[in-house]
């Protein structure tokens, strides 16, 4: 095969809108692996939010989690690579999110925290077995590793915060939307592109052998990096499709399965 690695986002890509995986997608991924391919999940999700899907997807290569901030072994969850946020940036963001009235979601050492355990948090953990914890204050994270922070609110409010992010004084933090109601922040040292490249190297593959597929702004770096970058038919905003070499069908119409059968096998 020309492409030996398939790096795929989860939400809006592998997963349908109801967070289920179609049988056709599971079957096509299995066919790809049986042909000698390596399947990498490359998601903004942490490992605890992937666990319920791993039996069906059965990845045979390291998992790229937290938009690339952590790579873990697909067999036992052992951490292979990790890059947390700059402490001052993380605390500044928590304070800024609280000031703007957002729900502040914090991942630290694979434990989920929030400033409020409200309806937004309930929706965020829906379809998982994750139990969130209310944090005391942003300052309580001094001396602790923070992998990712998510600001959650109504889309128009998140759009304003995204426009303002450049002026917040963040020193080593990048951000991207993952759905109109979520704005995710993580270390500028990482991206899905960087970590997909690392994960591919771990299984003996190179950049030209990688196909990357996704639907959101946080997928753009890996679409541009891969030997073949593929956007889902449901990808938004339009710049995601513009960054890709090819556009497949939507997540509701087996876009990943069609990609595998039409462009890889």
- The stretch 25-42 carries a mean pLDDT of 98
Q: Indicate whether 48 and 77 sit together in one domain.
A: yes
Q: What is the pLDDT of residues 109-149, one digit of tens each?
A: 999 999 999 999 999 998 888 999 999 999 999 999 999 99
Q: Indicate whether 58 and 38 sit together in one domain.
A: yes
Domain boundary among 138, 153, 187: 187
For residue 63, pLDDT over 90 is answered with yes
Q: Indicate whether 129 and 151 sit together in one domain.
A: yes
Q: Indicate whether 181 and 216 sit together in one domain.
A: no
Residue 177: pLDDT band (50, 70, 90) is confident
Share of the chain above pLDDT 70, in %: 100
Does the bond joining 198 to the residue before it have cis omega, within 30 degrees of 0? no
Bridging pattern class, strands 173-177 and 182-187 = antiparallel
Q: Please report the pLDDT score of residue 95 as a whole number.
A: 98
Q: Indicate whether 195 and 179 sit together in one domain.
A: no
Structural contact between residues 145 and 108, judged by C-beta atoms closer than 8 angstroms: yes
- The stretch 19-32 carries a mean pLDDT of 98
Domain boundary among 136, 164, 187: 187
The CATH number that applies at residue 224 is 3.40.50.1000
Lowest mean pLDDT among 11-20, 33-42, 172-181: 172-181
Q: Indicate whether 182 and 58 sit together in one domain.
A: no
Q: Indicate whether 166 and 194 sit together in one domain.
A: no
For residue 51, pLDDT over 90 is answered with yes
> How many independent structural domains does the chain possess?
2
Structural contact between residues 175 and 165, judged by C-beta atoms closer than 8 angstroms: yes
Cβ neighbours, 10 Å, residue 83: 19
Question: Which of 81, 30, 27, 74 shows the shortest CA–CA distance to 50?
Answer: 74
Give dist(CA 88, CA 186) in Å, integer. 13
- The stretch 210-230 carries a mean pLDDT of 97
Tally DSSP H helices, then E strands, for the chain. 9, 14
Long-range contacts of 232-237, Cβ-Cβ distance < 8 Å, separation of 24 or more: 232/12, 232/13, 232/256, 234/12, 235/12
Q: Please report the pLDDT score of residue 128 as a whole number.
A: 87
Residue 179: pLDDT band (50, 70, 90) is confident
Domain boundary among 145, 165, 187: 187
Q: Indicate whether 109 and 179 sit together in one domain.
A: yes
Residue 124 structural domain: 87-187
Q: Indicate whether 161 and 244 sit together in one domain.
A: no
For residue 77, which phi and psi values (nearest 5 degrees)?
80, 5
Q: Indicate whether 111 and 177 sit together in one domain.
A: yes
Q: Indicate whether 93 and 178 sit together in one domain.
A: yes
For residue 219, which phi and psi values (nearest 5 degrees)?
-90, -15
Encoded tokens for 11: 């939400």
């Amino acid at each position: 095969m020309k492409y030996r690695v398939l790096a795929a986002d989860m939400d809006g890509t592998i997963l349908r809108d109801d967070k289920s995986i179609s049988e056709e997608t599971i079957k096509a991924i299995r066919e790809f692996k049986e042909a000698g391919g390596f399947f990498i999940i490359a998601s903004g999700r942490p490992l605890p939010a992937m666990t319920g899907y791993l039996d069906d997807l059965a990845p045979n290569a390291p998992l790229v989690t937290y938009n690339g901030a952590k790579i873990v072994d697909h067999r036992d969850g052992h951490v292979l690579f990790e890059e947390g946020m700059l402490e001052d940036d993380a605390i500044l963001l928590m304070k800024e999110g609280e000031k703007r009235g957002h729900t502040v979601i914090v991942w630290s050492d694979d434990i989920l925290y929030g400033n409020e355990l409200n309806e937004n948090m309930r929706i965020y953990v829906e379809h998982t077995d994750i139990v969130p914890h209310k944090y005391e204050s942003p300052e309580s994270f001094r001396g602790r590793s923070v992998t990712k922070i998510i600001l959650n609110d109504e889309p128009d409010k998140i759009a304003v915060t995204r426009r303002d992010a450049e002026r917040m004084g963040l020193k080593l933090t990048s951000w991207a939307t993952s759905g109109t109601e979520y704005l995710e922040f993580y270390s500028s040292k990482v991206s899905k592109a960087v970590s997909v490249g690392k994960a591919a190297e771990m299984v003996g593959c190179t950049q030209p052998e990688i196909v990357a597929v996704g639907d959101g702004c946080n997928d753009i770096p890996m679409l541009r990096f891969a030997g073949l970058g593929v956007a889902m038919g449901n990808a938004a905003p339009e710049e995601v499709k513009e960054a890709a070499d090819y556009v497949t069908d939507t997540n509701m119409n087996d876009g990943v399965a069609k990609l595998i059968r039409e462009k890889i096998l």
